[in-house]
Structure 1
Amino acid sequence: MDSEELIKKWLKNELSDEEKQMFDSFDDAHLNNYIIEKAQVFKASNFSEINNFDVFKVQYNQQKIPVKKLNWINPLLKIASIIVIALGVYFTFFFNQRVQIETLASNKESIELPDHSLVMLNASSHLEYNKRTWKDHRKINLDGEAFFKVSKGQTFDVITNQGVVTVVGTQFNVKDRKNYFEVKCFEGIVKVTSDTISRFLKAGDTYKILNGKFSEGKIISPVPNWTENMSVFEAIPIKEVFAELERQYDIEINYNSRSNRLFTGGFVHDNLDNALNTITQPMNLTYEMSSSNLVVIHEKEN
């Protein structure tokens, strides 16, 4: 038996006594025995058992770290976005300089416009204009009531939901409330247009559309009464009077009557009891304060 065959049988532990004596006579028998002894105490590292190649491929793909592709378009999009935002901010602050002024109930405010025209804004009113374009286009959007003293210059427009008032240099009052549009001219000439009705007003003339009905009239006071802390009415529905009272005193009025009675008279803006009495007594009404800001109005019993 050759040495190679003898070693195979030795590894399989199949040597006979005679063959074992022959194997021990080899020069490297001692080295071979040493390797076998050490291999018996050798412990392999932990390993994961893969059932088959398909399972291995799925697990491998799940563990793959994605390679980030360089995209030259993304930086350009970011730069473009920054430019758009910057331009938006620029045009907002430098080209669209809209000025908005709003008064709360029971408050009034005086405003000087860029051309030194003066505006007094009544309670619960809103005014808006463009400061940047003012020199070329004197236009104001008004929701509420305001008295204007316009400096001479180019055309001056007051735009409301119910009509447009056009002047050059004059003094006038514009009232734009729900179902109530009124213009009073105190100096100069005023052009008023609402729907199909257009008029030129001279000092002392009034233009009024109330609940869809147009009327004209005259005034004798040099300035609007409300600028002197008094509201004055001539044949105005009582509900409109109470609405103005709510604005001037920041109160809520509960009046459930369905009648559309007209009121002629006025009330002051600095004494609520006085104001309520001057309205309710001529109209045969009574009132009671149910809380700090709620007033209940009743019809007197006959």
Structure 2
Amino acid sequence: MRMKNDSIDHKADLLKAIEYQRMIDRIKQIDTKSALEETLDRIRKREQKTAFMHVFRKVAAVLLVPLLCSTIALAYLSLRNSKPAFAASVIETVTPAGCRSRIVLPDGSIVWLNSGSRISYPNRFEGDSREVALEGEAFFKVKSDMKHPFYVNLSDKIKVMAHGTQFNISNYKHENTILMTLVSGAIDVYHGAKIQSALMPNEQCKYDRASGMFTNSTVNSTDYASWKDGKLVFHDTPLNVVLSQLSHRFNVKFRLHDRRRADYHVRATFENEDLHDMLQSLRSIIPIKWQDSPDMSGDNRRIIDLYID
């Protein structure tokens, strides 16, 4: 039994030896020089591929920046030239009688709105111009934009054009005149499509509704713009202008009964006084008397009858 087992073990060892010999024969058949060259060739190809990828990454990075910038620029131009999904809506702001308000327009321009006034404007300015409509009195501080002129549309087909400037407009329906007064910069006054006046600082264009005539004059612009700061400042100001400012401030209507002597001029500054105190101050300059009328104006304003002795 033992001899049989030894025979089996010798047979297994013999088979292993034969297998090892076959492996050695196969190894001897390998061309080591060719194998080395093949291995080196693979290494070179891998290095070339790595170098190519490195160069490719650099080139891609260089090309990507202008490509990205071009894409952004095209997208910006497309958005800029495209029309908005929704049309601009109109906003109307009304200042109650006896009050003042301050408004910032969509372009950053600032408007001070006087008592009993209203202004209409879009929630965003579109196209080549910026346009608003005014009824009453307002002081404008227009943000400069030479490519988009600023227009104020008034009654009687009158329009004021500015680029970036400060000016005051009085356009009350119940008054016989429209006053356009320039504080700084420059404005053009149009009647329809025709330019009527080009104003310089401290100049005023007056439109007479009855005659349809335009008149230019030199004024102190502070007399017509100080109301926005809560003051009334008059430098040798005609009495009718003073009464107009008082009527806007206190929502009253003056009836002057002696117009032949209405060419008085006033030098005064009012800030926190009430109407009675202001009239008393005027009385020290001009021989006037006044009394409340039992009547009311058509727009429900209190009427004060004013007499000059």
Q: TM-score, normalised by structure 2?
A: 0.57
Query: Offset at 1:287?
Result: 2.5
CA contact (8 A) 1:230 1:267 kept: yes
1:65-80 equivalence runs, <5 A: none
**Residue 298 of structure 1 pairs with residue 293 of structure 2:** no
Q: 1:171 aligns with which of 146, 153, 166?
A: 166
Q: Once the two structures are aligned, what percentage of the paired residues are identical? A: 22
Structure 1 vs Structure 2 CA RMSD: 3.2
Equivalent residue number for residue 161 of structure 1? 155
Looking at structure 1, the residues matched to 286 and 256 of structure 2 have their Cα atoms a distance apart, in angstroms, of 13
Listed one character per residue, the Cα deviations across residues 260-293 of structure 1 (whole Å, up to 9, x for unaligned) are: 61242256253122311233443311124679x6
Query: Offset at 1:144?
Result: 1.4
Looking at structure 2, the residues matched to 274 and 128 of structure 1 have their Cα atoms a distance apart, in angstroms, of 35
1:82-97 equivalence runs, <5 A: 95=87, 97=89
Looking at structure 2, the residues matched to 129 and 96 of structure 1 have their Cα atoms a distance apart, in angstroms, of 10
SS at match of 1:147: strand
Looking at structure 2, the residues matched to 97 and 197 of structure 1 have their Cα atoms a distance apart, in angstroms, of 29
Letter aligned with residue 199 of structure 1 = S
Unaligned runs of 5+ in 1: 1-93
Looking at structure 2, the residues matched to 260 and 223 of structure 1 have their Cα atoms a distance apart, in angstroms, of 22
> What is the number of equivalent residue pairs in this alignment?
206
Query: Offset at 1:157?
Result: 0.2
Q: TM-score, normalised by structure 1?
A: 0.58
Looking at structure 1, the residues matched to 248 and 179 of structure 2 have their Cα atoms a distance apart, in angstroms, of 17
Of Structure 1 and Structure 2, the greater helix share is in 2
**Residue 219 of structure 1 pairs with residue 204 of structure 2:** no
Query: Offset at 1:164?
Result: 1.1
Structure 1 residues 133 and 231, CA gap change in structure 2 (3 angstroms): same
1:104-119 equivalence runs, <5 A: 104-119=96-111
Equivalent residue number for residue 283 of structure 1? 286
Query: Offset at 1:203?
Result: 2.6
Unaligned runs of 5+ in 2: 1-85, 295-301
1:252-267 equivalence runs, <5 A: 252-257=253-258, 259=260, 261-265=262-266, 266=268
Looking at structure 1, the residues matched to 112 and 195 of structure 2 have their Cα atoms a distance apart, in angstroms, of 26
Listed one character per residue, the Cα deviations across residues 159-211 of structure 1 (whole Å, up to 9, x for unaligned) are: 11142110111111112232222222222221112466622222333222356
CA contact (8 A) 1:205 1:218 kept: yes
Looking at structure 2, the residues matched to 107 and 289 of structure 1 have their Cα atoms a distance apart, in angstroms, of 22
Equivalent residue number for residue 79 of structure 1? none
SS at match of 1:262: coil
Report which of the two structures shows the higher radius of gyration computed on alpha carbons: 1
Looking at structure 1, the residues matched to 99 and 200 of structure 2 have their Cα atoms a distance apart, in angstroms, of 30
1:1-302 equivalence runs, <5 A: 95=87, 97-134=89-126, 136-153=128-145, 154-162=148-156, 163-177=158-172, 178-194=175-191, 198-210=196-208, 212=213, 214-219=215-220, 221=222, 224-228=225-229, 229-230=231-232, 232=234, 236=238, 238=240, 241-257=242-258, 259=260, 261-265=262-266, 266=268, 268=270, 270-271=272-273, 272-288=275-291, 295-300=304-309
Listed one character per residue, the Cα deviations across residues 51-85 of structure 1 (whole Å, up to 9, x for unaligned) are: xxxxxxxxxxxxxxxxxxxxxxxxxxxxxxxxxxx
CA contact (8 A) 1:237 1:260 kept: no
